Amino acid sequence: MNHNTPLSPRPLHQLSDVRRRVLTTAQLRAHGVPAAEINEQCRAGGPWQQLLPGVHLLHPGPPTSEERLHAVLLYAARERNASVPPQPGAEEPHRPVYTEAMITGLAALTLHGFAATPPLTALSAIDVLVPRLRRLRSTGCVRIVRTASLPTPEEVTGLPVAPVPRALADAVAELSDAGAVRRLLTEAVRGGHCEPAAVVRELTQAKLLGRPHVVDAVDSLLAEGRAIAEDRLYTMVREYGLPDPVWNIDLRLPGGPHLGGLDAYWPEHAVAIELDTRAPRQDEDALWSEYARKREHLERLGITVVYITPKKLRDSLEQQAAVVRTALMASADRDPAAYVVVLPR
């Protein structure tokens, strides 16, 4: 026995499922398999094969989609204490812990359940998100994507997967087909995976909004998101017994200036709803200032404006209905609002 021989190695047969089939060199060494035997098993025509540098598939056939996913994560993850075998009597962890690595791009979207993405078996490369300073290179079936700040991964089928907005941005970065980009962004919103603002924020941070086909897709995305939010607003009024408002109107002072458009308005209560569908682009501060000026002007006229985001309509419809109902009830205790002209928008 030399200093490289692990103490009390655990037999490979005690591993389960994919962990028995895809292992790193360090993990094999920790289980008592010396380097010479690894090389021998991975010889041409042998029973094992090297999928990626330092990552081995312990059968001769092509890898399954699950095996490829685990292999790219094993390649990209920061391995800690991999050469230390489990102590006698200790249970093998249910699944490996992948540190500083997660699936992103098209593979992540497929795992999230997108219908517009190819099946995992059709992907020639699987994108893996890692910190910018990691010394890794793309190779084989793994494409390294770097970021200054890793998002918190979501667990899908036991794997760390980038959140949908980040996975979308990484996928869009590799796509030049305008139709494919539009389909992905539309499914993200229509399928309830995320809100348009979160997608636009990631695309902005990735500096992808300078590409014309991405800008066109984002415009369609925002229109789609607004339509969905309006439908949820109608549902809120109907299902929670709010009085019927007038929908999609403009307000003007008699013979005076235009006061702005509103999504819903109760003239007898002087209460209005405006959907906050701002996209987080570089002019967000200027746009928010415009929102604030409009709100202050209306409130000086005695009109209460309730701002609701699409996300709140999706996640807490009952709570938003309660906010609106409270504003309607409070109108009886306020001074009468100034007279305004209500026009269809």
Query: Would you place residue 109 in the very low, low, confident or very high pLDDT band (cuts 50, 70, 90)?
Result: very high
In this prediction, residue 313 carries a pLDDT of: 92
pLDDT tens per residue, range 311-321: 899 889 999 99
30 DSSP 8-state letter: H
Position 215, amino acid: V
Question: Which percentage of the chain shows pLDDT scores above 90?
Answer: 63
Asked if residues 261 and 250 have their Cβ atoms less than 8 Å apart, the reply is: yes
d(CA 309, CA 103) in angstroms, rounded, equals 30
Q: Average pLDDT for residues 215-238, to the nearest whole number?
A: 91
Residue linked to tokens 């098209």: 106
pLDDT tens per residue, range 260-289: 899 999 999 999 999 987 665 545 555 556
Query: Would you place residue 207 in the very low, low, confident or very high pLDDT band (cuts 50, 70, 90)?
Result: very high
The yes-or-no verdict on residue 80 having pLDDT over 60 is no
Greater confidence, 172 or 315? Answer: 172
In this prediction, residue 94 carries a pLDDT of: 44
Q: Lowest-confidence range among 38-42, 80-84, 246-250, 322-326?
A: 80-84
In this prediction, residue 294 carries a pLDDT of: 83
In this prediction, residue 141 carries a pLDDT of: 94
Query: Would you place residue 234 in the very low, low, confident or very high pLDDT band (cuts 50, 70, 90)?
Result: very high
| Residue 272: its H or E element | strand 271-275
In this prediction, residue 83 carries a pLDDT of: 41
Question: Which percentage of the chain shows pLDDT scores above 70?
Answer: 86
Q: Average pLDDT for residues 167-175, to the nearest whole number?
A: 96
pLDDT tens per residue, range 213-224: 999 999 888 888
The yes-or-no verdict on residue 137 having pLDDT over 90 is yes
Any idea what the Cα angle at residue 112 is, between residues 107 and 113, rounded to 5°?
Answer: 100
Residue linked to tokens 């009597």: 89
Average model confidence (pLDDT) across the chain: 86
> What's the N-to-C CA distance of the chain in angstroms?
84
Among 144-148, 296-300, 338-342, the range with the most confident prediction by mean pLDDT is 144-148
If we measure between CA atoms, which residue out of 173, 157, 250 comes closest to residue 207? 173
In this prediction, residue 19 carries a pLDDT of: 65
If we measure between CA atoms, which residue out of 228, 261, 264, 274 comes closest to residue 243? 264
Q: Where are the alpha helices (DSSP H) in the chain?
A: 18-21, 25-30, 35-41, 65-76, 105-111, 164-172, 178-190, 196-205, 212-239, 284-300, 310-315, 317-330
The yes-or-no verdict on residue 1 having pLDDT over 70 is no
Greater confidence, 190 or 233? Answer: 233
